[in-house]
Amino acid sequence: MGYVLFALLLLAAESRAISAAPSMPAPPSGNSWWDYQIIMWQAHTPEQNAALKQLGITGGKVIASRIDLPASSDPSVLAQLIGNQAPALIASRMRWYVDNIATDFYSPYHMQGAKAAFRAVRALYDQNPNDPAVFMRHPGLSDKDWLERIHTRLINQVQAYRNYRPLFYNLGDEPGIAELSTAWDFDISDSSLQGMRDWLRERYGSLVALNAQWGTDFADWNAVVPQTTDQAMRRTDGNFSSWADFKDWMNVAFARAIRMGTDAVHSADPDALAAITGTQTPGWGGYDYTLLANAVDVIEPYDIGGNVDIVHALNPGLAIVTTSFRDGPAEAHRVWRELLHGNRGLILWAPRDHDFVRDDGTPSARGREAAPYFGEIRAGLGALMINSRPAPAEVAVLYSPASMRTQWMLDWQPKGDAWAKNGMNSGHAETGADIAGKLIVHLGLQHQIVSAAMLAQGVLQQDRWRALILPDAIALSPQEAAEIRRFVERGGTVIADREPGLYDEHSRRLDKPLLADIFKAPPAAGLSFPFGKGKAAYMVPQTGYDDPAAGSDARSLRDLRQLLIGAKVQWPFTLADSAGRPVDDVETHVFQNGKSTIIALQRDLPAPGAPDTARSARIVTLSLPHSSFVYDVRTKQALGNTDRLSLALDAYEPTILAIANAPLPLPSVTAAQRVRRGETTELHIGFDAPPDGAMHVVHLDAVPPSGRIVAEDSENLLIPDGAASKPLRLPASAETGSWKIRVTDVLSGQMATATLQVTAN
């Protein structure tokens, strides 16, 4: 079909597409992604889409046409941009996201068919490491012509699609400075160096200050050029400032380029969401999440190095999604775990031989397996978790990109130019913040990841903090050190796994560590000593987190538990096994929704080859600080007023409990007594008590006389004020007879029903 005819068909269908879109209740202000989405990446027919919707799948994707048109608002021109996957999704009344709009700019070395370009760069380096062309990115992230080109492209894309309300606009898949998280010295092109000089001038204020930090003697700003990795590795004075500042600049340039894309999307449609997908482990390739967390609206990280927890902590409003590649109980465990870590949806990767539906539209084995937990999460549980906030933590964990940068140099410096042949830099490595976080959630506590900027801005002066953990924090700024010292003087406990502050934030070795007055003794397991009103302590250095029941993990859990007890951290509950011992193989997550507390417990994934007993339910005892009304959110059962429960924890799926000081309110629903099919009636939903700050999520089912509910007859409603009205439109083909309107309060599992008579005329 030619572009013109295709465009005319889409434009003619536009008004029908909008009116046929699924009913979307208005979200609260500032919360445009409030419900859980399950998105199919591969294209399907309308018949297959109907089956996918019954499995709980809510949307699809359309690959962007990367056509660089002049800035235009002419619909007949912009219609050329709409991909050929849109008609099937329109016919299926499914929303979609627009994918890979500017991958050629954000991910040039990782595009299909373009990886050879980065291999060519490596080959050129092998021939002549001093060739400047080796370290010039094409296209440059600071190239004004490319930035303008991408800005215009994004505006055109949004203008073409905005009436279809895409879920989000994906700027690029698996973006990076080089290829994924490869450590590479991009970019010393003129545009990048000029941007770096301007940035350094703002940061240092004067050339004298820069020269003093770098140990250089540049005569003017135009002469400022950073050291390459090879040059920095030859230094013997421990001053890697020039190299480290350049690496920091490239992270800034990457984040600025992404922010430009987000701003372009917003300028064309203030309600649209911009995204990047396939993001990498914290470290190289631009992955400083203190910068990225506020550069986009939606992010799809590969959950490595603790990046999910980092971005969720640094920007709780960021919509996080994950991709599901596999099937089996281990994948179900991962999907549930991601939800508890702040995930708001899934992108499904389903090639033809591993699809969720067959060619004839019937569910495949993978589809049948996923349907129960897809359906449960989509029936309001996902929305409930999204709209509940993490409970306040008393333990802070520092995320320090400067320390990671410095440690990388120290690790690779003895190996010469082996870094250039390394491929991805520790692509699946755990970070110190990740390991510390895993220890804490296995102790039954919550933690808050904080950045260097948050530390310098005084976040630790909030009264709620009891302890600060500094994992691998070898590079600190004087401002960070001063705030840490103030925290200890106020009575806080600081825990480190090695001596912190050996280097400054620019990776220059200091004559005296910044916290030497606090950490006066050499590192030793469990060592702690007073300083002012508080204390500092060392614990066992960590190399990874695998099985908390064995080896150094068990020792670290034991040591950390004692240190946190000494810091007077309060446990919100305790979890014990049948022998009364603390349980250490269960992740715990605590949320708040109004005055209710949500406790989620999920066992660690059974190890491959583990005995069958590891896959059977495990009995544990949960003890609360006082008697409370307890509801099992997943089974929709009230468990009574108690302070002690015996729970059977599944090997793969979590137990989720709602805890309240009083019985949770009952929902109600009222509807007209009768309505003709093809007409719209109004439903009124409320509760028999004030909301008390709760963000109620109710699941609505319109059950026809046959009892067979289709996807369009069910939806979730967000009721922040305790009452809402909802229009219910019955199609002209609706069954006649007695319909049941059923609402379920997801938090308590309590239901209410109303009866609606549907007549033919």
Q: How much of the chain exceeds pLDDT 70, in percent?
A: 91
pLDDT for 39 beyond 90? yes
What's the confidence (pLDDT) of residue 686? 96
> Can you read off the two tokens belonging to residue 306?
């603790």
Section 211-238 average pLDDT: 97
Report the C-alpha gap between 313 and 446 in whole angstroms. 12
Question: Would the pLDDT of 511 be above 80?
Answer: yes
Alpha-carbon distances, residue 393 vs 396, 398, 467 (angstroms): 7, 14, 10
**Cα 601 from Cα 380, distance rounded (Å):** 19
pLDDT in tens, 334-391: 999 999 999 999 999 999 999 999 999 899 999 999 999 999 999 999 999 999 999 9
pLDDT tens column, 285-319 = 999 999 999 999 999 999 999 999 999 999 999 99
Q: Is the per-residue pLDDT at 17 higher than 50?
A: no
Query: How far is residue 657's CA from residue 632's CA, in Å, rounded to a whole number?
Result: 5
Decide if 621 contacts 575 (C-beta within 8 A). Answer: yes
Q: Token digits for 160? A: 């073409």
Q: Output the average pLDDT for the chain.
A: 90
- Which stretch of DSSP H or E encloses residue 585? none
Give mean pLDDT, residues 599-619: 90
Per-residue pLDDT, 12: 43
Contact 39, 57 (CB under 8 A): yes
- Express as a percent the part of the chain with pLDDT over 90: 78
Tell me if the bond preceding 139 is cis, omega within 30° of 0.
Answer: yes
Report the pLDDT averaged over residues 36-43: 97
Spatial CB neighbours of 15, under 8 Å, sequence gap ≥ 6: none
Does the pLDDT at position 531 exceed 90?
A: no
The whole-angstrom separation of Cα 520 and Cα 528 is 10
Q: Are strands 298-301 and 274-279 parallel, antiparallel or unpaired?
A: parallel
* Mean pLDDT on 315-333: 96
SS3 470: strand
| Helix orientation angle between 551-566 and 432-442, rounded to the nearest 10 degrees | 70
Give me the pLDDT at residue 9, please.
39
The pLDDT of residue 549 is 41
Confidence of residue 112 (pLDDT cuts 50, 70, 90): low
The CA distance from 33 to 36, in Å, is 8
List helix spans (H) across 497-572.
551-566
Buried b (16+ CB within 10 A) or exposed e, 64-98: bbeeebeeeeeeebbbebbbebbbbbbbbbbbbbb
pTM of the model: 0.93
pLDDT computed for residue 26 by the predictor? 35
- Greater confidence, 346 or 76? 346
Q: What is the pLDDT of residue 692?
A: 83
Asked if 437 and 309 count as a contact pair (C-beta separation under 8 A), the reply is yes
pLDDT at 2 over 60: no
Query: What local confidence, expressed as pLDDT, does residue 427 receive?
Result: 44
Mean pLDDT for the stretch of residues 593-598: 96
* pLDDT tens string 689-744: 988 888 999 999 999 999 998 888 899 999 988 999 999 999 999 999 999 999 99
- pLDDT value at 128 more than 60: yes
Domains of the chain: 33-192+267-389 (3.20.20), 395-565 (3.40.50.880), 574-660 (2.60.40.1180), 667-759 (2.60.40.1930)
Contacts of 94 (CB under 8 A, 6+ apart): 22, 49, 53, 58, 59, 60
Spatial separation of the C-alpha atoms in residues 322 and 644, rounded to whole Å? 35
How sure is the predictor about 32, in pLDDT bands with cuts at 50, 70 and 90?
A: confident
Q: How confident is the model at residue 99 (pLDDT cuts 50, 70, 90)?
A: very high
Mind spelling out the 3-state secondary structure of 604-670?
CCCCCCCCHHHHCCEEEEEEEEEEEEEEECCCCEEEEEEEEEEEEECCCCCEEEEEECCCCCCEEEE
Asked whether the predicted pLDDT for residue 430 surpasses 80, the reply is no
Give residue-wise pLDDT tens across range 536-584: 777 755 555 554 444 446 778 888 999 999 999 999 999 999 999 999 9
| DSSP secondary structure code for residue 353 in this structure | G
C-alpha to C-alpha distance for 405 and 474, rounded to whole angstroms: 10
